[in-house]
Structure 1
Amino acid sequence: MTSKLSLATLASLPKSVGTPSYERQDLRAGIVHFGVGNFHRAHQAVYLDDLFNAGLGLDWALVGAGVLPSDEAMRSVLAAQDNLTTVVEQDADVSSARITGAMIDYLKPGDAESIVSKLADPAIRIASLTITEGGYFIDPASGTFNPAHPDIAADGAAPDKPRTVFGLLVAGLKRRRAEGIPPFTVMSCDNIPHNGVVTKNAVVGLAQISDPELAAWIAAEVAFPNGMVDRITPATGAREKTIAKEEFGIDDQWPVFCESFKQWVLEDNFPAGRPPLEKVGVQFVPDVSPYEHMKIRILNGGHAVIAYPAGLMDIHFVHEAMENELVAAFLRKIETEEIIPIVPPVPDTDLADYFALIERRFANPKIGDTVRRLCLDGSNRQPKFILPSTADRLKQGLPVPGLALESALWCRYCYGTTESGKTIEPNDPSWDRLQKAAKTAREDPMAWLAMEDIFGEVGRSEVFRKAFATALDALWKDGTEAVLRRYLAGDL
């Protein structure tokens, strides 16, 4: 027997399913969150649910906000189940399900006035974001905010009719300033190096276009703490909905599946106050940089390393990629020889132990994370997760055979066919551009590196250009498996 998820059916769920110990009517909104996706619901919302279950911070409930028309699908599903979410945590040998209720409302996407009004509410003291790496209007090569982007230019020209997340934040801060209300803290929860700084640059940069005085006030008065977030959370599909029904008796139209591991490291810079998240495992530190550097280079970079060879070899799930001896050995060799040696020390952390934990997490067969998800959006992810390691090694005069091969594998993937000849469906917002460059690069490898906005100085390095061309030529001549074997043997 299954129960359609709602507040009314919580009591009828199997006893094995965890449910909120707090009453929803006791919660009061304190955070507006942009980007109510799977990661947010498996991470920030879970930490808050833990806090509320402990009877703490009940005035820090979430109000969701969407910007894109596609956000309406999530809002409609969650509204029909009283904004409750099923979170299924899966380890190799055990699975558990819980219902979280930390979000009490979800504002309609595109309703700018309602969102700005909520942002101006004095009860809202944090505005948080999980809008993906590609949502910050960053120039990939320089890593700086791009004020010329058409969406930003439009918000700069019509600040009272904001359409982007940053336009809404600026409008909300402008209204609070006019009404004498202290500003909220803006907290990014995305996997971007120095995500607080990046967010500040976007908010201040947009305000600068239409109101330099407001921009100066935001720069001086608004806090943008950096943070590092971590939890592997695959996309939801029919498989996940079926497991929720058959194994846990829950009819949830958008459940979230994730690993049991989670981590959140935050700089403690919240002038308007914050929930006592340290009570539920969040680490507050003076400087998050060592932690985010470690995670983005080793974990997110590791995902990219296994993604493209696995995708080319028609491997579907991430754990299956880790079961492939070539892919697993490729990951270990690049990490131990090229990535980890240039990661600075992290307080109370052994990097070898950290990587061993990541290998176990990637190999978890219960997660059902897909290789295609890891291959997604390389044009935004490669400049953040892989190319910084490449650039650092080149600056130090160190070789980059593995990292150059990773870039060549990405190029080969974007050609659009696997080794078996299957078509790779578009898997990047810039797919047409990438595919055109990849096809040209089959005969002229430098055509791939000519994407200056992505490769920047790395693409101009003669050492990298030579290693990349050698790897790409070998991939086309001998195939992925043979090239991986050559690299592992030190013959590339």
Structure 2
Amino acid sequence: MTVRLSLETLAELPETVARPSYERSDLKPGILHIGVGNFHRAHQQVYLDRLFSTGRDHDWALVGAGLMPFDTKVKSALAAQDYLATVVAQEAGSSTARVTGPMTEFVEPGDPQKIVDRLADPAIRIVSLTVTEGGYFVDPSTGEFDPSNPKIQADAADPDHPQTVFGVILKALKGRRERGETPFTVMSCDNLPHNGKVARDAVMGLARQADPDLATWVGETVAFPNGMVDRITPATGDRERRIVAEDFGIADEWPVFCEDYIQWVLEDKFTAGRPALEEVGVQFVPDVSPYETMKIRILNGGHAIIAYPSGLMDIEFAHEAMETDLVARFLEKVEREEIIPIVPPVPDTSLDDYFALIKTRFANPKIADTIRRLCLDGSNRQPKFIIPSIRDNIAKGRDVEGLALESALWCRYCFGVSDSGREIEPNDPNWDRLTERAKAAREDPSAWLAMADIYGPLKDEPRFAEPFARWLKMLHEEGAEAVLKTYLGD
């Protein structure tokens, strides 16, 4: 027997399922979050649920919001269960379920003005974001905000009718300024290097075009803290809904599955206060940069290293990739020789221990993180997770054989067919462009590296371009398995 998740049925849940120890009626909104996806519910919402369960800071509850068509489905699913979520944390030998409830409402999607209106409430003191790595209008070739993006140009020309997240934020901040109210903090929770700066550049870049005086005020008064977020959180499907029903007796339309590990490192820079998240494990530090670099290079870069050979070899899950000797050794060699040696020191952290933890996390069979998810959106992820390591190695006179092979594997994956002949379905917002380039690169590898928005001047760097071309040719002729054996010296 399963219990349909709602506030009314919380007491009927099995005793093995943890649930909020606070009353929903005691919560008052203090944060509006844009982009209510799985990661947000497995991360920020979990921390807030823990904090509210201590009996404090109940005036920092969440209001959900979104601007994408998918957000209508999100709102409908969550509203039907009173915005509660079943979060299943999994280790190799155990699984625990907890119902979390820090979200109290969801702004009706489809109308940006409704978010602006909700942000007129001075009780909302933080706007947090998970809008994906590609949602910040960054030019991948420079790593800087792109003011020429058509959507940004449209919001700059008509700031009273914004369509982008940053147009909405700017209009809401303008209203705060006109009313003489304290502005809210803008807190990115996306997996980006210097995510606070990236969010600030987007808001400020739009403001400079639309209203230079407002831009000055935003620059002087609004906080954009940098943060490093970490928790492996796969997508939800029928498998996850079935497990929640069969193992925990809960009928949840959108449960969240994640690893047991969780981390959030955050700068203590807030315009109008913040919840006491340090009480539940959030690390507040003066500079997040070392933690960001460590995580993005070793973990996210590591995901890319195992993803593309696995995609070509028809491996379905990350833990299966780690069980595949060639893939696991490929990860070990590239990390040890080309990534970890150029990661700057991190306070009170052993990079070797961190990498050992990463391998354990990747190998967790309970997570069932798909290789397809790890391969997703390479055009936005490669410039952030892989290219910086290539550049740093070259600047130090170091070889990049392994990272060049990773880039060749990505190119070969975007060719659209695995080594067995299985079609690879579109898996990137720029899939058509990538596929066209990948097919051209079979005869002319420079056609792939000519994507300046991704590779920049690396296309003219022989220490990268030459091994890339060699590996790509071999991948087409011999396949990923044979190439990995060659790289590993088998």
> Which residue matches 2:465?
465
- Distance (Å, rounded) in 1 between the aligned partners of 2:293 and 2:484: 27
TM-score, scaled relative to structure 2: 0.99
Distance 2:60 2:296 in 1: 28
The residue aligned with 2:482 is 482
Q: Which residue of 1 aligns with 2:116?
A: 116
Distance apart, 1:50 and its partner CA: 0.2
Structure 1 residue 341 corresponds to structure 2 residue 336 = no
Deviation at 1:460, TM superposition (A): 2.2
- Give 1:164's aligned residue: 164
**Structure 2 partner of 1:182:** 182
* Counterpart position of 1:77: 77
Letter in 1 for 2:385: F
SS at the partner of 2:444?
coil
Give the equivalent residue in structure 2 for 1:154: 154
Which residue pairs with 1:45 in the alignment?
45
* Unmatched segments (≥5 aa) in structure 2: none
Q: Could you tell me how far 1:264 is from its partner in structure 2?
A: 0.1
Q: How far apart are 1:211 and its partner, in Å?
A: 0.4
Which amino acid counterpart does residue 253 of structure 2 have in structure 1?
A: Q
Q: Percent identity?
A: 66
Aligned to 2:331: 331
The alignment partner of 1:424 has SS state of coil
* Equivalent residue, structure 2, for 1:199: 199
User: Match of 2:395?
Assistant: 395
1:255 is the counterpart of 2:255: yes
Shift of 1:154: 1.1
Which structure 1 segments of 5+ residues have no match? none
SS of 1:359's equivalent?
Answer: helix
Code of the residue aligned with 2:351 in structure 1: it is: L
Q: Which amino acid aligns with 1:240?
A: E
For residues 442 and 383 of structure 1, what CA distance do their matches in structure 2 show? 22
Distance 2:459 2:306 in 1: 22
Residue 287 of structure 2 corresponds to which residue in structure 1?
287
Counterpart for residue 56 of structure 1? 56
Correspondence 1:423-434 to 2 at 5 A: 423-434=423-434
C-alpha contact 2:312 2:413 (8 A) present in aligned 1: yes
In the alignment, which residue of structure 2 is the partner of 1:306? 306
Q: Distance in 1 between matches of 2:380 and 2:124?
A: 31
Hey, what's the Cα distance between the residues in 2 that align with 1:113 and 1:485? 56
Quote the RMSD (CA, aligned, Å): 0.7
Give CA deviations for 1:203-259 in whole Å, capped at 9, x if unaligned: 010111110110111111110000000000000000000000000000000000000
Q: Is contact 2:221-2:271 (8 Å) kept?
A: no
Preserved CA contact (<8 Å) 2:133 2:190: yes
Shift, 1:477, TM fit:
1.5
In 2, distance between residues paired with 1:194 and 1:152?
21
CA contact (8 A) 1:290 1:344 kept: yes
Counterpart residue identity of residue 371, structure 1: I
Q: Is the deviation greater in 227-236 or in 477-486?
A: 477-486
Contact 1:257 1:367 in 2 (8 A): yes
Cα contact 1:186–1:225 (8 A) shared by 2: yes
Q: Contact 1:89–1:96 (CA<8 Å) still a contact in 2? A: yes
1:195, CA displacement in angstroms? Answer: 0.5
Are the aligned partners of 2:47 and 2:280 in contact in 1 as well (CA < 8 Å)?
yes
Q: Supply the distance in 1 between the matched residues of 2:181 and 2:238 (Cα, whole angstroms).
A: 46
Deviation string, structure 1 residues 374-397 (Cα, Å, up to 9, x no partner): 000000000000000001111111
Q: Distance in 2 between matches of 1:61 and 1:229?
A: 20
Query: What do residues 396-442 of structure 1 show as CA deviations (whole Å, max 9, x unaligned)?
Result: 11110000000000000000000000000000000000000000000
Q: TM-score, normalised by structure 1?
A: 0.99
Other-structure match for 1:98: 98
* AA partner of residue 322 (structure 1): M
AA of the residue aligned to 1:33: H
Distance in 1, Cα, partners of 2:49 & 2:298: 29
Alignment of 1:8 onto 2:8: yes
One-letter code of the match for 1:480?
Answer: A
Q: Which amino acid aligns with 1:411?
A: C
Map of 2:17 onto structure 1: 17
